[in-house]
A = this chain, B = another copy of it.
């Protein structure tokens, strides 16, 4: 289990970090959708390694192949299978950790759960798996463009450096203007400098990515267990290295009184709006038509360039050497992944909502 996501707009992924390929089947994409391959590639390029000095130097073109489900440029309603072959496998790099449990990695837990594991680069537990999510998310975005729904994500914190503006005070069209994907140029420079310094220290650091979804109509989301924010939260928490999720007023909101926190409804030329948006665009688990916004916390990458003490499968004390390639901070590459997962949730819930009434 665990390799599928969604209900009606549903994906199934496969592949390991250093296996032959990774891929995704998109099942339930409505028929007749124009599949813009250039857009899919551009999304993959935003996630791919080696794109800047603050990302891992692993080299992957991340070119994809559509194997099924598209005929004469359009979706046919049958499963869209997309595959990305691994090029730079360098399996020998990993022989030195074949039987070692790297601290704060999934080596020990996979070994304990399955009694066997593909140790090469973490195998299935590697964040390389997210390439399949971004490919699927790109298709979801293409579908949602028909509904004028747009997705933005950006870096709002790196280590202790926290952006003091919220998304309404930022120009979201400037996200791609720098390698970090923070729309505030001054803060972006400081954050990039911090990441670069951390890399030189052979260390890593955490950060926060903020997501914004605009244009979602009121009425998306399922009551009780599948509330819209609960599904978005699960989607984000399923991304490698994520430790926390909050939406709307989030953790800070607990300090407020109801009289401050409640969002007053009013009519704005026949449109229902709220004067404030502490609700984050979702009330009772269902979208209310206002912007949806949330924060996703990423821990510092576990792979560091210094030696660490640990144990091996036999339980012997061992040293895990600091070598290989890694991201000093994942947030810049996490931006398209956060957008992709958000798009997958909205696409799914949009389809579900079409069946709400007689």
Contacts and interface: CB of A to CB of B under 8 A. Distances in A.
Interface in A64-88: 65, 67-69, 71, 74-81, 83
Contact of A21 (B68, B71, B285): B68
Contact of A222 (B2, B21, B65, B224): B2
A32 interface: yes
A343 interface: no
A101 B273 CA distance: 12
Contacts of A272: 108, 311, 315
A296 to B, nearest CB: 10
Interface string A323-357: 00000000000000000000000000001111111
Interface string A232-247: 0111011000011111
A90 to B, nearest CB: 16
Contacts of A32: 114-116, 357-358
B2 A308 contact: no
Contacts of A61: none
B67 A20 contact: yes
A39 interface: no
A165 interface: no
Nearest to A316: B267
Interface string A97-138: 000010111101110111111100011110001000000000
Contact of A257 (B15, B204, B310): B204
Contacts of A218: 108-109, 112-113
Contact of A109 (B20, B266, B284): B284
Nearest to A21: B67
Number of copies: 4
A41 interface: no
A298 B224 contact: no
Given A8-B355, A76-B116, A306-B259, A230 B234 contact: yes
A36 to B, nearest CB: 14
Contact of A254 (B4, B159, B225, B279): B159
A264 B1 contact: no
B355 A30 contact: yes
B3 A78 contact: yes
Given A2-B227, A159-B255, A247-B243, A238 B30 contact: no
A175 interface: no
A226 interface: yes
Given A237-B227, A272-B315, A15 B124 contact: no
Nearest to A66: B20
